[in-house]
């Protein structure tokens, strides 16, 4: 049986600093049902091909600050799951791995919420994804008031991605309608290089879609010489002031 390296449950005023984690069988650190948490100066590593080795997994927790750390694993550097709020992540170097993710939310039609997540001054290096929000089709609840600011991508895949059809062929999803509502999400000052030509992907559901998406001062180049970057949107509503590559003209009013 695979086990997590370190778990905290129902802790208040938790401080974690100066630890080094190597090759956990599963999640390296799990935070569940905690309030007022400060996590800093960690070094978390696992092989890029190791599955389910999230660096820090957060669920049902509030008022967390993760900062000044290196996380490079085979899965999410940080995963923010349901019923979590007021999560601040700053000065984290992420990579390899799957980026910093909100979700997945709404599996099996579950009601889940995440709000007030703010990621700033972070670097994604050689990651499969960058700033990601992922929800299951047929889920309920919301993800809102989320920001990514002053983010550097270094040869990152899927630098900016919202996917409301994560694992859309799940048995529940195929027979259910509705989506976890995604709103008030901003990307400001995202720079660097993308390994995918589709550098911005807002894949929102057929219902309400994603609302109030803001893209400002985004400037990336392709990691592949001569390729142009572009954005793809499906039922995503918002504004973009990006006048450099990639432009995001596909956002709906």
| C-alpha pair distances (Å), 102 with each of 63, 110, 213 | 15, 15, 15
Calculate the CA dihedral of residues 198, 200, 204, 206 and round it to 10 degrees.
-50
Question: Which burial class, exposed, middle or buried, applies to 122 when counting CB atoms under 10 A from its CB (0-12, 13-18, 19+)?
Answer: buried
Tokens standing for 226?
């001569």
- For 77-102, give one letter per residue: b (16+ CB within 10 A) or e: bbbbbbbbbbbebbebbbbbbbbbbb
β-partners of residue 228 are none
Compute the distance between CA of residue 55 and CA of residue 36 in angstroms, rounded to an integer.
19
Determine the Cα–Cα distance for residues 252 and 213; give it in Å rounded to an integer: 10
The residue from 21, 28, 67, 98 that is catalytic is: 98
The answer to whether 69 and 49 are in contact (CB under 8 A) is: no
**Site of tokens 């999803």:** 173
- Is position 98 annotated as part of the catalytic site? yes
Hey, which residues are catalytic here? Answer: 98
């Amino acid at each position: 049986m695979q086990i997590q390296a370190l778990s905290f449950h129902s802790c208040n005023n938790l401080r974690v600093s100066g630890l080094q984690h190597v090759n956990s069988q599963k999640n390296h650190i799990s935070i569940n049902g905690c309030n007022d948490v400060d996590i800093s100066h960690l070094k978390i590593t696992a092989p890029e091909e190791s599955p389910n080795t999230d660096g820090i997994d957060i669920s049902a927790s509030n008022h967390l600050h993760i900062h000044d750390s290196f996380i490079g694993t085979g899965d999410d550097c940080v995963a923010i799951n349901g019923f979590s709020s007021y999560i601040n992540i700053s000065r984290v170097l992420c990579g390899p791995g799957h980026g910093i993710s909100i979700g997945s939310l709404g599996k099996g039609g579950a009601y889940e919420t995440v709000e007030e997540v703010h990621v700033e001054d972070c670097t994604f290096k050689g990651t499969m994804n960058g700033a990601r929000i992922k929800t299951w089709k047929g889920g309920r609840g919301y993800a809102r008031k989320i920001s990514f600011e002053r983010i550097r991508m270094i040869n990152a895949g899927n630098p900016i991605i919202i996917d409301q059809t994560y694992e859309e062929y799940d048995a529940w999803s195929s027979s259910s309608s509705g989506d976890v509502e995604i709103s008030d999400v901003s990307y400001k000052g995202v720079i660097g290089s993308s390994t995918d030509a589709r550098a911005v992907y807002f894949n929102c559901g057929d219902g309400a879609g994603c609302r109030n998406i803001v893209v400002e001062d985004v400037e990336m180049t392709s990691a592949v010489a001569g390729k142009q970057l572009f954005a793809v949107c499906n039922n995503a509503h918002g504004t973009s002031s990006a006048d450099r590559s990639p432009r995001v003209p596909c956002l709906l009013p």
